[in-house]
């Protein structure tokens, strides 16, 4: 396939959309070297033609004049006091990076340098293959990412239950008889930690085939509209609901773990631990009726198969880890874990094949944070604490930040203080494509190639697929600057002291070598004992990332084992299959994939019994709590904080509105279209009111990712559709203590006419 862009360049290419977790196949028509049209690839083995409005906006993203093509360096301020950025060549940019890193290190030591890895890092191939090496080279413990404003509770629950933070059961929506979704809205988000392109169509199809869908959400979302039942729950109370459901099943003799009994430890202790959570108590806390809760429990128990699925609404709350654990407890006690139609483990093509090895106890808190004494979780600290670490004087204070594909000023709690913190740094380097609310604080911004100018393979999200899928996309267009993996490799070498002239190939080669070395040494690996040099000579790919991917695929569960199985998977086989390869439906994987010390699912290995006690002690506050609380929401034409610079996506009715239930609007004297002042403990914003019964009484909703009214950014369209930053309201003190995850939903607020 040609990747040249000449003026007679007319062709059609197929490509996986990198923008969200759905991994849709796109058909891109190129005319005269430009994108003429993007539509869903009907032959894609996974998405079968599905596309959302963001997918086709890759054309506008590619052409966006504000997207950086060359590095920019901050040089002083303009007449209005905003930072002034000038374009520089790559050599000059790397010199600035080297100089800043060395100065901060010499003056303040390695702990003064921190990193934030943003959401796209989970999607980008270069990030999957190279980021961890950069982070390690930077050396310090101050590591932050979007995980602690998102799914960290899921990793922690999995770590204790299954022995690995990435061992995540996926709802088998293709085969289930009952899907219960809590705090997830795939009709807007297109699914999360459940890779299922065309999620909306799949839900409609499920129901046509006789399955039932129940949505638990304080808002009557589009997903709820397409479900059999919507249960409007008081935000932040799902843990109580699920504990009561589990208790009801266990105490009424409705539990039936079936063949899981021999695979699970801790089942016998569950009834006593859950006994305090009666259906009556749960009704008072959640605002649901006793009948609704009992019926939900009985439906889950009696369904031939049931998949229970929670996402942002069950993770970004005060009991996020406990709620996530309870979701899996329910799967266990109803026999739905690891069976078709229940929740199953994907077997991705990049998985490392190992013989059953002894597991290690899952650990958090191997080291702790300086200011708030938080335990490390998955090697990270809570990003809600980042401003404290920057603004609190003392040894180990953060003086320099590296951000990769992240915009914490808009995405993380207490956005105003986050902005102050970034402004207070001695130095900052961003790898990003825009000068936005966060990167405007950088001394230098290093822009990677655009989405269509780099290869793509969703290493992370194929690990969470509802089927086992493998699909690779080469770049559509050539790119003049360094590739994204070259940027990360060079940055790694500079962080290691090799200076700005270091050759990125050194890193690429070392990573491939290290990967194959581990395989050769591991019993169970399909290439155990093989000759490394012989394999290295066979590795293919134009970039470092591509070569690492090739090595991963060929040594994975479906791999060609470097020539042993010519039909097996490799990069070149994927190049021959531009619509992807379907590796089949999910299979049962227990207990072979478990990495716990016992080799079983360990229900009580983590601090869950204690956390149930913590929940019990909060019940009194939660019953009849009638404070107004704030929740978020997503819209299909948005993507967190960064796609608002594309007119095609943002035009039309303003979307950054405060949704208020009519009863609350009456009480608070708010009318549709008026402006409301919303105040929380930490901040306030003024937002236009949308009176709608979509949101339940006692709850207001604002989307996140808006608030593009800062000076010094370079996102002309976004500043015209600025909206307000809901994370000015979210409170950094509110954290799920088990995971360090921020509470972004159920924030107490006061609302009045502005």
Ligand X SMILES: Nc1nc2c(c(=O)[nH]1)N[C@H]1C(S)=C(S)[C@@H](COP(=O)(O)OP(=O)(O)OC[C@H]3O[C@@H](n4cnc5c(=O)[nH]c(N)nc54)[C@H](O)[C@@H]3O)O[C@H]1N2
Least distance in angstroms from the C-beta of 459 to ligand SF4: 15
Percent helix, strand and coil across the chain, each rounded to 5?
Answer: 35, 20, 45
- By CB under 6 A, tell whether 407 contacts ligand SF4: no
Cβ pair 204, 226 in contact under 8 A: yes
* Segment contacting Mo ion by CB under 5 A, of 145-153, 259-267, 302-310, 708-716: 145-153
**Residue 342 touches which of Mo ion, ligand X, ligand SF4, none (Cβ within 5-8 Å per kind):** none
How near is the Cβ of 420 to ligand SF4 at its closest, in Å? 33
Query: Closest Cα to residue 546, out of 527, 565, 574, 567?
Result: 574
118 binds, among ligand SF4, ligand X, Mo ion, none (CB under 5 to 8 A by kind): ligand X
Three-class SS of residue 508?
A: helix
Three-class HEC string of 511-562:
HHHHHHHHHHHCCCCCCCCCCHHHHHHHCCCCCHHHHHHHHHHHCCCCECCC
Q: State yes or no: residue 21 binds Mo ion (CB under 5 A).
A: no
* Residue closer to ligand X (CB basis): 603 or 699: 699
**Residues 178-197, interacting with ligand X (CB under 6 A):** 182-186, 188-190, 192
Measured distance CA(339)–CA(84) in Å, rounded:
57
Which residue of 13, 52, 507, 574 would you call a contact of ligand SF4, by CB under 6 A? 52
Contact status: 55 vs ligand SF4 (CB under 6 A)? yes
List 178, 283, 433, 622, residue binding ligand X (CB under 6 A): 433
Q: 22 vs 300, which CB is nearer to ligand SF4?
A: 22
Minimum CB distance to ligand X, residue 577 (Å):
24
Q: How far is the CB of 636 from ligand X (least distance, A)?
A: 5
| 273 binds ligand X per the rule CB under 6 A | no
Cβ closer to Mo ion: 305 or 378?
378
> Does residue 318 bind Mo ion (CB under 5 A)?
no
- Beta strand pairing status for 658-660 and 699-701? antiparallel
> Which CA distances in Å does 112 have to 442, 563, 636?
16, 47, 39
Q: Are strands 658-660 and 212-216 parallel, antiparallel or unpaired?
A: unpaired
Q: Are strands 427-431 and 264-265 parallel, antiparallel or unpaired?
A: unpaired
Cβ proximity to ligand SF4: between 17 and 282 the closer is: 17
Smaller CB distance to ligand SF4: residue 17 or 284? 17
Binding flag, residue 239, ligand X (CB under 6 A): no
Contact 685, 751 (CB under 8 A): no
d(CA 536, CA 486): 19
Q: Which of 16, 411, 473, 492 binds ligand X (CB under 6 A)?
A: 411
User: Please, are residues 310 and 558 in contact by the beta-carbon 8 Å criterion?
Assistant: no
What is d(CA 73, CA 65) in angstroms, rounded to the nearest whole number?
Answer: 18
Kindly state the number of chain residues that form the binding site for Mo ion, as judged by CB under 5 A: 1
Q: Smallest gap, in angstroms, from Cβ of residue 46 to ligand SF4?
A: 10
The one of ligand X, Mo ion, ligand SF4, none whose footprint includes residue 707, by CB under 5 to 8 A per kind, is: none
Which of 85, 434, 558, 608 forms a contact with ligand X (CB under 6 A)? 434
Q: How far apart are CA 588 and CA 363, in angstroms?
A: 26
Q: Which helix (H) or strand (E) holds 34?
A: strand 34-40
What are the DSSP calls for 187-253, one per residue? HHH--SSSB-TTHHHHHHHHHHTT-EEEEE-SB--HHHHTSSEEE---TT-HHHHHHHHHHHHHHTT
Segment 181 to 210, residues that bind ligand SF4, using CB under 6 A: 190, 197
Closer CB to Mo ion, 150 or 519, in the complex = 150
Minimal CB distance to ligand X: which residue? 313
State the binding string over 134-163 for ligand X (x if CB under 6 A, else -). Answer: ------------x--xx-------------
Residue 513 phi, psi (nearest 5): -60, -45
Is 461 or 558 the residue whose CB approaches ligand X more closely?
461
| Burial state string for 213-224 with b = 16 or more CB within 10 A and e = fewer than 16 | bbbbbbbbbbbb
Q: Residue 122 interacts with ligand SF4 (CB under 6 A)? A: no
Cα–Cα distance measured from residue 316 to residue 457, given in angstroms and rounded to the nearest whole number: 28
Find which of ligand SF4, ligand X, Mo ion, none residue 218 binds, CB within 5 to 8 Å per kind: ligand X
Stretch that binds ligand SF4, among 52-60, 529-537, 676-684, 704-712 (CB under 6 A): 52-60
- The residue (of 23 and 439) whose beta carbon lies closer to ligand SF4 is 23
> In the complex with Mo ion, which residue's Cβ is closer, 189 or 473?
189
CA atoms within 13 A on the CB side of 8: 0
Q: Which of 460, 169, 470 is nearest to 349 (CA)?
A: 470
Binding test (CB under 5 A) with Mo ion, winner from 64, 150, 174, 217: 150
**Min CB(688)–ligand SF4 separation in Å:** 26
Q: Is the bond leading into 74 cis (omega within 30 degrees of zero)?
A: no
Please tell me whether residue 14 adopts helix, strand or coil conformation.
strand
Under 8 Å between Cβ of 748 and 626? no
User: Closer CB to ligand X, residue 299 or residue 602?
Assistant: 299
Residue closer to ligand X (CB basis): 301 or 446: 446
* Smaller CB separation from ligand X, 446 or 502: 446
Q: How far apart (Å, rounded) are the C-alpha atoms in residues 544 and 128?
A: 12
Q: Which stretch binds Mo ion (CB under 5 A): 148-156, 299-307, 477-485, 497-505?
A: 148-156
Q: What is the pattern of x (binds ligand X, CB under 6 A) and - over residues 370-409?
A: ----------------------------------xxxxx-
Between 471 and 746, name the residue whose CB sits nearer to ligand X: 746
Residues 706-735, interacting with ligand X (CB under 6 A): 726-727, 730
For residue 34, the minimal CB distance to ligand X (Å) is 20
User: Nearest distance from residue 69's CB to ligand SF4, in Å?
Assistant: 23
Rg (CA), the chain: 25
Residues 592-651 that bind ligand X (CB under 6 A): 631-636, 638-642
Contacts of 225 (CB under 8 A, 6+ apart): 187
Q: For residue 119, what are the CA distances in angstroms to 66, 412, 640?
A: 20, 12, 9
Separation CA 511–CA 549 (nearest Å): 11
Q: Among residues 346 and 492, whose Cβ is nearest to ligand SF4?
A: 346
The CA distance from 376 to 397, in Å, is: 17
- How far is CA 305 from each of CA 171, 174, 183, 335, 342, rounded to the nearest angstrom? 11, 11, 21, 8, 6
Closer to ligand SF4 by Cβ: residue 174 or 318: 174
52 or 233: CB nearest ligand SF4: 52
Report which residue's Cβ sits closest to ligand SF4.
55
- Is residue 437 near ligand X by the rule CB under 6 A? no
Of the candidate spans 16-24, 516-524, 586-594, 694-702, the one that interacts with ligand SF4 by CB under 6 A turns out to be 16-24
Query: What are the φ/ψ torsions at residue 11 (nearest 5 degrees)?
Result: -165, 170
Q: How far is CA 338 from the centre of its chain?
A: 23
How far is it, in rounded angstroms, from Cα 238 to Cα 218? 11
Per CB under 6 A, does 20 bind ligand SF4?
Answer: yes
As measured in angstroms, the least distance from the Cβ of 54 to ligand SF4 is: 4
Give Cα separations from 677 to 528, 689, 721 (angstroms). 63, 10, 19
CA distance 226 to 220: 10
Sites of contact with ligand SF4 (CB under 6 A): 17, 19-20, 22-24, 51-52, 54-55, 190, 197
Q: Which residues bind ligand X (CB under 6 A)?
A: 20-21, 118-120, 124, 146, 149-150, 182-186, 188-190, 192, 216-219, 221, 233, 235-236, 238, 311-314, 317, 404-408, 411, 431-434, 436, 448, 451, 631-636, 638-642, 704-705, 726-727, 730, 744-746
């Amino acid at each position: 396939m040609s990747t040249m862009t000449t003026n007679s360049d007319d062709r059609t290419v197929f490509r996986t959309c990198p923008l969200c977790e759905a991994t849709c196949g796109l058909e891109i028509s190129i005319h005269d070297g430009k994108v003429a049209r993007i539509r869903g690839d009907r032959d894609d083995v996974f998405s079968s033609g599905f596309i959302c409005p963001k997918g086709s906006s890759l054309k506008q993203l590619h052409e966006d004049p504000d997207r950086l093509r060359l590095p920019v360096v901050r040089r002083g301020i303009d007449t209005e006091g905003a930072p002034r950025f000038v374009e520089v060549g790559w050599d000059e940019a790397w010199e600035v990076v080297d100089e800043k890193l060395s100065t901060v290190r010499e003056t303040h030591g390695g702990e003064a340098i921190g990193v934030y890895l943003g959401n796209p890092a989970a999607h980008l191939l270069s990030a999957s293959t190279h980021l961890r090496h950069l982070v390690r080279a930077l050396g310090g413990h101050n590591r932050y990412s979007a995980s602690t404003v998102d799914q960290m509770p899921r990793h922690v629950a999995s770590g204790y239950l299954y022995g690995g933070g990435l061992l995540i059961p996926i709802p088998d929506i293709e085969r289930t008889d009952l899907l219960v979704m809590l705090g997830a809205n795939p009709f807007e988000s297109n699914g999360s930690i459940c890779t299922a392109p065309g999620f909306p169509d799949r839900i409609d199809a499920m129901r046509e085939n006789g399955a039932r869908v129940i949505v638990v959400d304080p808002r009557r979302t589009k997903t709820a509209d397409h479900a059999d039942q919507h249960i409007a729950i008081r935000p932040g109370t799902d843990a109580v609901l699920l504990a009561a459901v589990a208790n009801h099943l266990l105490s009424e003799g409705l539990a039936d773990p079936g063949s899981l009994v021999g695979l699970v430890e801790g089942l016998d202790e569950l009834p006593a631990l859950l006994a305090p959570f009666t259906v009556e108590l749960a009704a008072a806390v959640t605002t649901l009726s006793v009948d609704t809760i009992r019926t939900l429990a009985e439906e889950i128990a009696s369904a031939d198969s049931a998949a229970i699925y929670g996402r942002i609404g069950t993770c970004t709350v005060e009991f996020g880890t406990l709620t996530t654990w309870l979701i899996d407890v329910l799967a266990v006690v109803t026999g739905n874990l690891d069976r078709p139609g229940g929740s199953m483990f994907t077997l991705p093509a990049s998985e490392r094949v190992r013989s059953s090895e002894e597991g290690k106890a899952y650990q958090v808190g191997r080291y702790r944070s300086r200011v708030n004494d938080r335990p490390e979780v998955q090697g990270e600290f809570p990003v809600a604490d980042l401003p404290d670490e920057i603004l609190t004087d003392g040894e180990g204070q953060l003086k320099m930040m590296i951000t990769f594909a992240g915009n914490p000023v808009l995405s993380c709690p207490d956005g105003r203080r986050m902005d102050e913190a970034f402004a207070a740094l001695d130095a900052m380097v961003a790898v990003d494509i825009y000068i936005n609310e966060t990167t405007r604080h950088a001394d230098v911004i290093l822009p990677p190639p655009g989405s269509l100018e780099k290869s793509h393979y969703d290493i992370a999200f194929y690990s969470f697929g509802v089927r086992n899928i493998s699909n690779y996309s080469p770049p559509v267009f050539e790119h003049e600057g360094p590739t994204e993996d070259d940027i990360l490799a060079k940055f790694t070498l500079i962080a290691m002291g090799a200076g700005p002239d270091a050759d990125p190939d050194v890193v690429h080669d070392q990573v491939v070598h290290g990967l194959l070395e581990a395989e050769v040494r591991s019993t169970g690996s399909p290439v155990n004992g093989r000759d490394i040099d012989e394999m290295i000579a066979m590795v293919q790919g134009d970039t470092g990332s591509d070569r690492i991917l090739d090595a991963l695929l060929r040594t994975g569960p479906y791999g060609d084992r470097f020539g042993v199985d010519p039909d097996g998977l490799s990069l070149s086989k994927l190049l021959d299959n531009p619509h992807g390869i379907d590796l089949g439906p999910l299979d049962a994987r227990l207990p072979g994939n478990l990495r716990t010390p016992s080799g079983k699912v360990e229900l009580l290995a983590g601090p869950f019994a204690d956390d149930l006690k913590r929940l019990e002690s909060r019940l009194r506050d939660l019953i009849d709590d009638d404070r107004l609380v704030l929740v978020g929401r997503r819209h299909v034409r948005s993507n967190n904080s960064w796609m608002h610079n594309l007119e095609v996506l943002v035009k039309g009715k303003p979307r950054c509105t405060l949704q208020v239930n009519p009863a609350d609007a009456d009480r608070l004297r708010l009318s549709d279209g008026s402006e409301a002042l919303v105040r929380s403990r930490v901040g306030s914003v003024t937002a236009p009111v949308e009176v709608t019964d979509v949101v339940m009484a006692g709850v207001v909703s604002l989307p996140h990712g808006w608030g593009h009214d800062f000076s010094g950014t370079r996102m002309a369209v976004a500043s015209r559709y600025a909206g307000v930053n809901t994370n000015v309201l979210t409170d950094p003190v509110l954290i799920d203590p088990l995971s360090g995850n921020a509470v972004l939903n159920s924030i107490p607020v006061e609302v009045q006419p502005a």
